[in-house]
Amino acid sequence: MSSHLSTLLSRMSPALLAVLIYYALFRILRWLLKPLYSPSLLRDIPGPRPQSWFTGASVGVIYPSCGEGLTRTKPGNLGQLFNAKGLPFHHDLVERYGGMIKVYGFFGDEQLYISDPRALQSILGKEQDAYEETAVFVETNRVIFGPGLVSTTVLRFFSLSLVRQFAPFLVRLGPAWMRRRLVEWTPNAAVQKVKRMSDVMHQTAVDILADAREGLRQEENDVKNIISLLLRANEIASAKEQLSETELTGQITVMVFGAQDTSSSALSRLLYMLAVRPDIQQNIRLEIRAAHASAGRHLNLDEISALPWLDAVLKETLRLYPPVPFVRRSALEERSIPFSTPSGNVSSVTIPRGTTLFLGIAGANRLQTVWGPDAAEWKPDRWFNGDHKVDSSGRRLPGIYSGIMSFLGGQRSCIGYKFAEIEIKILLIVLVSRFEISPTKHDIVWNLSQIISPSVKTTDSGHIISEEKGLPLRMKLIEEHSADTEFLI
Ligand code: HEM
């Protein structure tokens, strides 16, 4: 390939070559100077000062509360928004600058970080057709969840979170088999780990499809699980609408893994909160016992839904600790986004086509204007105090689940939120009625990736010396249940 290029260049007349080089330089210069002659439409939006033009400057300040992981990164770096230890940074950002914030991506690219209810209503509501998932999100998912498409990382010196930004470009590097080879040859442990993960996900999806087909064959029409229903619907769809085998596998992967890590993240945080708050754990236990005593049999879905402490604890934990703290969108065309200013007035900002928006799920879930001055505290009983989930101008957050944003809102909100709710409640009923849950002496940290996950931190003189994924908790069997062979649920 390079010999072709050098042959081509050697045959080109020097004059033509010079014109091409000058033209390329002109385009680059024009792009670099654009901010000087065309003032930014986002110039009045507050936000942290840019410090690095190349990697984007998310913040001009190092937040002491962000922990060692963040203070170790260079200031003014996209890595801060995507840093594994960057959760407090996201919280501080919204507390400091409010619901509409300007942050910076690569090459000074201006982006918005939005938690304001009015703006979110517009983006996820009546204007939702003007926004789409970012190319980064789509391509990364295609790379990781799509079969044989592992092609992210030839840039071994970048961390994976940063590499994610390059996925849209890298995914165009030739056909799938070539990208696969590139990844196989990349001498980087993180890249190889993603490749193995992707392979396991793909193989699992293939196995699930095969099992579902076998189940359908044996049980004919009496199959009710979601994957068999999908397969059957696909079989009877017209040829034009039918999903290919690759698309089917991709759907299964997204469904299984979109459901798994989010739910397990939520459950981890719930168990942890109950461990550190034995009083509230006991409230749940008592109401479960009372419900069992009055029903005298397994609780049905309505009876489970009617347990007030269980419900309040789930809502409050998902509010304060959403497993997915933000999602991103890209503007398909120029749009105006209305938002409330700190003084309570309505303002608006016009965003150019292609602007990247961070939809701040965690930020919106903690807005004092919506949740009150104790917004940053875990207080399940706030859910007993009536509906105060509107901001000062009467705006509700457009979250699909009780006005919290954890499952998002609008047409691309979580399709599995009801399933997640009931699944988590059933698991908690089983665990809390059988075990007393308490914390261990381990130091737990909550890591930010696309989804939050816990790990155990070992420190020496204030420095992290090791970290291991997991959440050790003490589970003590409650005496009266030691002879149980069956749970009442
Ligand atoms: C606590 C558990 C869960 C949380 C916090 C959660 C959160 C979310 C969020 C925030 C989104 C929007 C992502 C975006 O637009 O970028 C989403 C989408 C999605 N979720 Fe969940 N989810 C959970 C459980 C589940 C379960 C159990 C399933 C499946 C049974 C599921 C399936 C999906 C799917 C397929 C989408 C994509 C929907 C679309 O793009 O149209 N999720 N989820």
Flag the least confident range among 216-230, 297-311, 440-454.
216-230
Indicate if ligand 1 lies below 6 Å from the C-beta of 264.
Answer: no
| pLDDT at site 235 | 86
For atom 16 of ligand 1, which residue has the closest CA? 327
> Which ligand 1 atom minimizes the distance to the CA of 412?
41
Mean pLDDT for the chain overall: 81
**Ligand 1 in contact with 445 (CB < 6 A)?**
no
| Residue 351, ligand 1, Cβ within 6 A | no
**pLDDT tens across 160-208, in order?**
444 454 455 555 566 777 777 887 888 888 778 878 888 888 898 899 8
* Structure confidence at residue 85 (pLDDT): 83
The CA 63 to ligand 1 mean position distance, Å, reads: 31
**In sequence order, what DSSP letters do the residues of 446-481 get, joined into one string?**
EE-SSS-EEEEEEEETTEEEEEEE---EEEEE-GGG
pLDDT at 156: 28
Mean pLDDT, residues 378-393 taken together: 81
- From CA 118, how far away is CA 396, in angstroms rounded? 8
Query: Is the shortest distance between the CB of 414 and ligand 1 below 6 Å?
Result: yes
Minimum-distance ligand 1 atom for the alpha carbon of 405? 10
In whole angstroms, give the CA distance from residue 241 to residue 238: 5
Q: What is the pLDDT at residue 489?
A: 39
* 137 CA: nearest ligand 1 atom: 16
414 is an annotated ligand-binding site residue: yes
**Which protein residue's CA is at the shortest distance from atom 37 of ligand 1?**
414
So what's the pLDDT on residue 331?
Answer: 94
CA 413 – ligand 1 centroid, Å: 7
| Helices and strands (H and E) in the chain: how many | 19, 12
pLDDT at 13 over 80: no
Question: What does the pLDDT read at residue 297?
Answer: 83
Cβ–ligand 1 contact at 259 (below 6 Å): yes
- Of residues 338 and 77, which shows the higher confidence score? 338
Q: Residue 106 in contact with residue 89, Cβ under 8 Å?
A: no
Give the integer Cα–Cα distance in Å for 278 and 266.
Answer: 18
- Compute the average pLDDT of residues 427-448: 94
What would the two tokens of residue 137 be? 């999100």
3-class DSSP assignment, residue 157: coil
How far, in Å, from the CA of 14 to the mean position of ligand 1? 56
Q: What is the largest CA-CA distance in the chain?
A: 91
Q: Which of 25-39, 214-228, 244-258 has the highest mean pLDDT?
A: 244-258
Phi-psi map region of 132: left, alpha, beta (phi>0 left; psi -120 to 50 alpha): beta
> Token pair for residue 375?
């917004």
pLDDT of amino acid 51: 56
Q: Would the pLDDT of 424 be above 70?
A: yes
Q: 98 or 153: which carries more pLDDT confidence?
A: 98
328 lines ligand 1 (CB under 6 A): no
Cα distances (angstroms) measured from residue 352 to each of 32, 106, 166, 329, 439: 17, 16, 21, 13, 49
Ligand 1 near 114 CB (within 6 A): no
- State the pLDDT at residue 29: 79
- The residue to mutate among 320, 414, 424, 426, having the most atoms of ligand 1 within 8 angstroms of its beta carbon, is 414
CB atoms within 10 A of CB 189: 8
The token pair at 72 is: 């170790």
What's the 213 CA to ligand 1 centre distance in angstroms?
A: 25
Across 15-19, 82-86, 103-107, 407-411, which has the greatest mean pLDDT? 407-411
CB distance 85 to 63 below 8 Å: no
Where residue 76 falls among pLDDT bands split at 50, 70, 90? very low
pLDDT category at 44 given cuts 50, 70, 90 is: confident
Query: How far apart are the CA of 284 and the centre of ligand 1, in A?
Result: 27
The pTM (predicted TM-score) of the whole model is: 0.80
Residue located nearest, by CA, to atom 36 of ligand 1: 414
Amino acid at 45: I
